[in-house]
């Protein structure tokens, strides 16, 4: 305890000594400004010798009254090394108060008075001199501290770093990191030819073409992206170019995060692959967003899943009166309910631990709670697992869809939206074929509904970032364990969209549905998975090991397409689709079956599923979905017999 008190007293003594030094310095500045104002106002010696002695009494009064004004107003509380324009401009009203007080005292004393212009000159000289002196002291102090750190043998030098972007954000980042030991800023990179070759805070602004030379000369290891408004496409290109040179790339927060006060410009973070994929976020239509939700009783099946949980978050935020969370995974239901209850939205929550395939339970819930809108997100979606468990996957996906349709028709639910998938288009796997049957069931039910009945619709889209079935978590795990990173095929591509945006578009499509609609979401440009794997490795600060770089850290291994896996995904079976009132949502017109044609085959399918007859189930799958074309044919004798029937 005693050593701590000793250290505290030492620090206090140092602080007092520094402040006393600044007070003495400002006292000398007051004297210099006072005499300088007389010299400028009365340049000839005769006038000066006549006026100055008669008013010399004001000089000690200027010091005696001026310094307390500066002390009381907090002029000496700021740190000189961080003195910026705002703190320096704060001297203007302080010096004005000093002059006014001295003018008042001079008037009260009477006697010979300085010329009126003297007071303006005195104020200007002291203000300008004090501000200039603080700037000089700040720069001298910063230089001294930099030199001390550079010569300190125990000091760890920061990494040579470039800031990409010489705009306002780049300037703010430089000022924030000036004394950060992690970085040694050596300059800026910028694409604007108009400012290349110039300097910012004595730091050169370089063209990106000079990056290899800067790396060689200064040993640059890091680049800080100071462009919060950059597009995802441009950001991905930049990050790809920088990481390919072995540079670590960090980024400042987005404009939205900084504007909301959640983050500040110096809150640097590693660039996540999720920040580089997908389209630019769209601006939602608030009317469409709220149409099926605000003030409504809403049910979400599969509420603990990737899409289901985000649906719950947005439904609650949009002001539903009550939300029923239907989920059969106990922990997933517990997690999303606890999360939603931690936000004071004032929506009544009902956590329902149950199976979405239980039609009688869903019907009872809809009737008891007067449900207005259902979002059906419950489904098995992992292609390899469903492929290996054909009967279980089909029974779950089709059974749950039949159950929510039955509950909707039996209880007068206003809207039902089915969450579908791009894998339902010309499916090559069981999961996609089962979801196409779900679409057919909903289309057939919608065709039977008369005017004024429930509005049934479905939304079809591709991969979402961060879902349980996404390759990104898998790649993260493989990279963390040293690889290899496994990709099924060098040419395989996928669409990607963020989960929040996908759900926003689902909600808006629900708001514009008229019945039997099949909506398609604009997923942006497809991404080559091999490129995604390489970029994730490089974003981790590692290098890809291949035939061109045998010294790399992690290899990419191609394992071959899995059963039922496509090289690319598509959203349309036919080319017939029309725009809607939202630019990123289109309405498709695709062939569907009438209920009398569909239901007998569905009945046969249920019988095969009840007997766990995979061969017959597979054969019926092809009859229900003629475009279903698996890459690996089932060749059991039972399947041949079933196909013959």
Instruction: Give the active site residues.
Output: 423
Write the DSSP assignment of 565-607 as a string of letters: --SS--S-SSS-EEE-SSTTEEEE------HHHHHHHHHHHHH
Residue 72 exposure: Cα atoms within 13 Å on the Cβ side: 9
CA angle 123, 124, 126 (to 5 degrees): 65
Task: Output the six-digit token pair for 272.
Answer: 């996540």
8-state DSSP, 262: S
Say how far apart CA 73 and CA 233 lie, in whole Å: 51
| Widest pairwise Cα distance in the chain | 126
Q: Indicate the angle between helix axes 232-244 and 529-539, nearest 10 degrees.
A: 60
Beta-carbon contacts of 554 under 8 Å, excluding residues fewer than 6 positions away, are 478, 479, 482, 483, 484, 485, 537, 542, 543, 544, 545
Contact 476, 273 (CB under 8 A): no
* Segments in 178-328 forming alpha helices (H): 211-218, 232-244, 255-259, 286-291, 306-317
The distance in angstroms from the start CA to the end CA of the chain is 91
What is the Cα–Cα distance from 249 to 238, expressed in whole angstroms?
10
User: What's 197's DSSP letter?
Assistant: T
Look at residues 469, 476, 464, 526 and name the one whose alpha carbon lies nearest to residue 500.
Answer: 464
Secondary structure (3-state) at 545: strand
CB 170 within 8 A of CB 188: yes
């Amino acid at each position: 305890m005693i050593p701590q008190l000793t250290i505290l007293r030492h620090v206090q003594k140092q602080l007092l000594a520094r402040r006393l030094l600044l007070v003495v310095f400002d006292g000398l500045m007051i004297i210099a400004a006072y005499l300088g104002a007389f010299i400028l106002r009365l340049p000839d010696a005769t006038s000066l010798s006549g006026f100055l002695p008669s008013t010399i009494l004001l000089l000690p009064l200027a010091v005696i009254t001026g310094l307390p004004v500066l002390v009381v107003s907090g002029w000496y509380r700021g740190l000189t090394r961080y003195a910026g324009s705002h703190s320096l401009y704060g001297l203007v009203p302080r010096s004005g108060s000093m002059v006014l007080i001295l003018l008042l005292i001079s008037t009260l004393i009477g006697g010979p008075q300085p010329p009126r212009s003297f007071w303006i000159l005195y104020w200007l000289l002291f203000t300008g001199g004090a501000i200039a002196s603080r700037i000089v002291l700040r720069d001298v102090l910063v230089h001294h501290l930099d030199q001390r750190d550079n010569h300190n043998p125990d000091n760890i030098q920061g990494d040579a770093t470039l800031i990409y972007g010489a705009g306002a954000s780049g300037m703010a980042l430089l000022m924030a990191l000036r004394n950060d030991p992690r970085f040694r800023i050596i300059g800026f990179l910028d694409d604007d030819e108009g400012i290349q070759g110039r300097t910012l805070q004595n730091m050169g602004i370089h063209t990106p073409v000079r990056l290899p030379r800067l790396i060689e000369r200064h040993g640059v290891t890091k680049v800080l992206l100071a462009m919060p408004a950059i597009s995802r496409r441009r950001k991905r290109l930049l990050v790809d170019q920088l990481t390919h040179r072995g540079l670590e790339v960090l980024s400042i927060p987005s404009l939205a995060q900084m504007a909301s006060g959640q983050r500040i410009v110096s809150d640097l973070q590693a660039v996540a692959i999720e920040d580089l994929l997908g389209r630019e976020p769209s601006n939602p239509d608030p009317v469409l967003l709220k149409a099926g939700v605000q003030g409504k009783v809403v049910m979400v099946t599969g509420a603990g899943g990737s899409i289901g949980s985000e649906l719950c978050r947005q439904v609650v935020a949009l002001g539903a009166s009550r939300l029923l969370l239907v989920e059969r995974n106990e922990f997933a239901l517990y997690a999303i309910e606890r999360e939603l209850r931690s936000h004071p939205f004032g929506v009544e929550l009902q956590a329902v631990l149950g199976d979405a395939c239980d039609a009688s339970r869903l019907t009872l819930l809809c009737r008891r709670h007067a449900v207005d809108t259902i979002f059906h997100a419950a489904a098995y979606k992992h292609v390899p697992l469903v492929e290996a468990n054909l009967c279980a996957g089909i029974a779950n996906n089709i059974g749950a869809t039949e159950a929510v349709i039955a509950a909707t028709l039996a209880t007068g639910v206003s809207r039902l939206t089915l969450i579908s998938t791009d894998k339902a288009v010309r499916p090559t796997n069981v999961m996609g074929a089962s979801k196409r049957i779900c679409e057919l069931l909903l289309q057939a039910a919608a065709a039977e509904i008369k005017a004024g009945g429930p509005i049934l619709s479905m939304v079809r889209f591709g991969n979402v970032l961060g879902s349980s079935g996404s390759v990104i978590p898998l790649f993260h795990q493989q990279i963390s364990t040293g690889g290899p990173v496994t990709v099924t095929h060098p040419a395989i591509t996928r669409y990607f969209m963020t989960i929040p945006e996908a759900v926003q578009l689902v909600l808006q499509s629900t708001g514009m549905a008229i019945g039997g609609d099949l909506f398609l979401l604009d997923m942006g440009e497809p991404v080559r998975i091999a490129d995604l794997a390489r970029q994730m490795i490089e974003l981790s600060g590692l290098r890809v090991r291949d035939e061109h770089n045998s010294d790399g850290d992690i290899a990419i291994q191609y394992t071959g397409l899995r059963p039922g896996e496509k090289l690319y995904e598509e959203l349309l079976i036919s080319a017939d689709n029309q725009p809607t009132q939202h630019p990123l949502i289109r309405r498709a017109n695709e062939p569907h079956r009438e209920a009398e044609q569909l239901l007998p085959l569905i009945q046969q399918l249920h019988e095969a599923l009840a007997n766990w007859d995979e061969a017959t189930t597979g054969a019926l799958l092809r009859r229900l979905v003629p475009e279903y074309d698996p890459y690996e044919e089932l060749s059991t004798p039972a399947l041949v017999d079933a196909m013959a029937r």
